[in-house]
Amino acid sequence: MKVTVAPDKFRGTVTAVEVAEAVLNGVRALGHDGVAVPLADGGEGTVDVVGGPNRWTTVTGPLGDPVDAGWWTDGSTAVIEMAAASGLQLAGGPRHNDPMAATTRGTGELIGAALASGVTRILVGAGGSATTDGGLGAVEALGRRPFAGVTVSVCADVTTRFTDAARVFGPQKGAGSGMVAELTARLENLRSRYLDDCGVDVDTIPGSGAAGGLAGGLVTLGATVVEGFATFAALAGLDAALADADLVVTGEGLLDAASFQGKVVGGVVGRAAALGIETLVIVGQRDIEVAVPHGVTVVGLVERFGRDLAFSHTAECIEQVVREHLSGTGQGNLSAGNR
């Protein structure tokens, strides 16, 4: 049997690369063949799937403190994560974030470092932001016409409009209802400013609200908003890896309704279904209300092993699920030897 392994990260526990390795361990232990295609959709972990950071730049963090942000380049293409420069985790999570003050300036500085390196293509992962500044910090850091001769793609997993960014994403960044209204008004004013200064109505561009409007701000400088999953699937060669697969294994930390709306899991499931390939989805936790497509098996690690094991021995749990699925042995306990 040939198994194609195409997971996302499990946020807070294992990277997409580590998930793929755990799945392959289970596949090979039973004598099957596997190929790993770890994926991302533009959120945290995006740089990991292209090989991990090989460049580091000190930039302005989301709340003004300097941070060392890692990024990747092969000399012609650069991959950066806005989360590495302006991410919510850097701000201390929603409890410690200041949504009104959080800035994308560091992301602009990181893009500037990539431009200075001489690349001709930049992929900007737009997930995990602390910000709702409409990308103004990044725009101001970069100045006018910074992308001459360079293709800049903002990789998003949402289609949210620019002026809806605060309403949709503000609460998860620590903004209460009053602050959401203030942030929305600020975005509406910034939309008008971008239109006057650049001739671009960012609110008409699907996904311009990604990363609190960073996507829209970068569009005014000449960037394009693209579907993150499709971009990194093409970069990783997913279609070729699926061509003769008998089984596809994918996964992520939390399966919910959003999983099938631009995320890695939904994208992989869709492509596998189009080819008539069975899919195993391994997740940390799952919303049992979410409808699962025909031909897809979903296993939640917390439900299967309990919360403690699922979080403390995630890779081992993933390997065990794969062994069980391939051997048809059912739901035996995670053995001590696999911990």
pLDDT digits (tens, 9 = 90+) for 188-202: 999 999 999 999 999
**Long-range contacts, stretch 49-58, CB < 8 angstroms, 24+ apart:** 49/16, 49/17, 49/232, 49/236, 50/79, 50/232, 50/235, 53/84, 55/113, 55/117, 57/109, 57/110, 57/113
Confidence of residue 336 (pLDDT cuts 50, 70, 90): very low
The predicted structure's pLDDT at residue 332: 44
Give the pLDDT mean for 325-339.
Answer: 58
Three state DSSP letters for the chain:
CEEEECCCCECCCECHHHHHHHHHHHHHHCCCEEEECCCCCCCCCCCHHHCCCCEEEEEECCCCCEEEEEEEECCCEEEEEHHHHHECCCCCCCCCCCCCCCCCHHHHHHHHHHHHCCCCEEEEECCCECCCCCCHHHHHHHCCCCCCCCEEEEEECCCCCHHHHHHHHHHHHCCCHHHHHHHHHHHHHHHHHHHHHHCCCHHHCCCCCHHHHHHHHHHCCCCEEEEHHHHHHHHHCHHHHHCCCCEEEEEEEEECHHHHCCCHHHHHHHHHHHCCCEEEEEEEEECCCCCCCCCEEEEEHHHHHCHHHHHHCHHHHHHHHHHHHHHCCCCCCCCHHHC
User: What is the model's pLDDT at position 339?
Assistant: 36
Judged against a pLDDT cut of 60, whether residue 215 lies above it is answered with yes
Domain 2-37+248-338: give its CATH architecture. 3-Layer(aba) Sandwich (3.40)
Flag whether pLDDT at 165 surpasses 80: yes
The predicted structure's pLDDT at residue 92: 97
Residue-wise pLDDT tens digits, 313-330: 999 999 999 999 999 875
> Domain segments of the chain: what residues?
2-37+248-338, 48-229
Using pLDDT thresholds of 50, 70 and 90, give the confidence band for residue 262: confident
Looking at every residue in the chain, the average pLDDT score rounds to 95
pLDDT at 143 over 60: yes
Residues comprising the chain, all counted: 339
Q: Mutual orientation of helices 264-274 and 228-236 as an angle, nearest 10°?
A: 60
Residue with more model confidence, 292 or 106: 106
Q: Which CATH class is domain 48-229?
A: alpha beta
Query: Which of 168, 194, 197 lies closest to 183 in space, CA to CA?
Result: 168
Q: Which of 160-174, 213-227, 256-270 has the lowest mean pLDDT?
A: 256-270
User: How confident is the model over 16-44, as a mean pLDDT?
Assistant: 96
From the number of C-beta atoms within 10 Å of its C-beta (0-12, 13-18, 19+), residue 318 rates as: buried
The whole-number average pLDDT for the span 21-50 is 96
Cβ contact 15:53 at 8 Å? no
